[in-house]
Structure 1
Amino acid sequence: MIRFDNVGVRYGLGEEVLSDLCFDIKPGTFQYLTGASGSGKTSLLRLLFLSLQPTRGNISIFGKNAQALDRTELPAIRRRIGIVFQDFRLLDHMTLYENVALPLRVRGYEEASYRRDVIDLIKWVGLADRIDAFPQVLSGGEQQRAAVARAIIDQPELLLADEPTGNLDPALARRLLRLFIELNRSGTSVVIATHDLSLMEQHSARRLVLESGRMEVYD
Structure 2
Amino acid sequence: MLGPYASLAIRGKEGALVRFENVGLRYGMGQEVLKDVSFGIQPNSFQFLTGPSGAGKTTLMRLLFLSLKPTRGLITLFGRDVSSLDPDEVAVLRRRIGIVFQDFRLLDHLTTYENVSLPLRVLGKEEASYRAEVTELLGWVGLGDRMHVLPPILSGGEKQRAAIARALIGRPEFLLADEPTGNVDPTLARRLLRLFIELNKSGTSVLLATHDIALMDQYDARRLVIADGRLYVYE
| Structures share fold, TM-score greater than 0.5 | yes
Structure 1 position 72, deviation (Å): 1.2
Where does residue 88 of structure 2 map in the other structure?
Answer: 72
1:126-167 per-position Cα deviation (integer Å, ceiling 9, x unaligned): 111101000000000000000000000011000000000000
Trace 1:96-175 onto structure 2 (pairs within 5 A): 96-175=112-191
Q: How many residues align?
A: 219
- Secondary structure in 1 aligned to 2:145? helix
Unaligned runs of 5+ in 2: 1-16
1:11-57 per-position Cα deviation (integer Å, ceiling 9, x unaligned): 00000000000000000000000000000000000000000000000
> Structure 1 length normalisation: TM-score?
0.99
Where does residue 200 of structure 2 map in the other structure?
Answer: 184
Where does residue 218 of structure 1 map in the other structure?
Answer: 234
Where does residue 42 of structure 2 map in the other structure?
Answer: 26
Where does residue 94 of structure 1 map in the other structure?
Answer: 110
Over the matched positions of the two proteins, sequence identity in percent amounts to 67
1:179-210 per-position Cα deviation (integer Å, ceiling 9, x unaligned): 00000000000000001001101211000000
In 2, Cα distance between equivalents of 1:65 and 1:98: 34
In 2, Cα distance between equivalents of 1:203 and 1:155: 22
Where does residue 58 of structure 1 map in the other structure?
Answer: 74
In 2, Cα distance between equivalents of 1:54 and 1:36: 21
In 1, Cα distance between equivalents of 2:155 and 2:217: 27
Where does residue 54 of structure 2 map in the other structure?
Answer: 38
Q: Structure 2 counterpart of 1:42, which letter?
A: T
- Secondary structure in 2 aligned to 1:191? strand
CA RMSD of aligned residues (A): 0.5
**Runs of 4 or more consecutive aligned structure 1 residues displaced over 3 Å after TM superposition:** none
Q: Which stretch of structure 1 is more off in the superposition, 34-43 or 69-78? A: 69-78
Q: Structure 2 counterpart of 1:106, which letter?
A: V
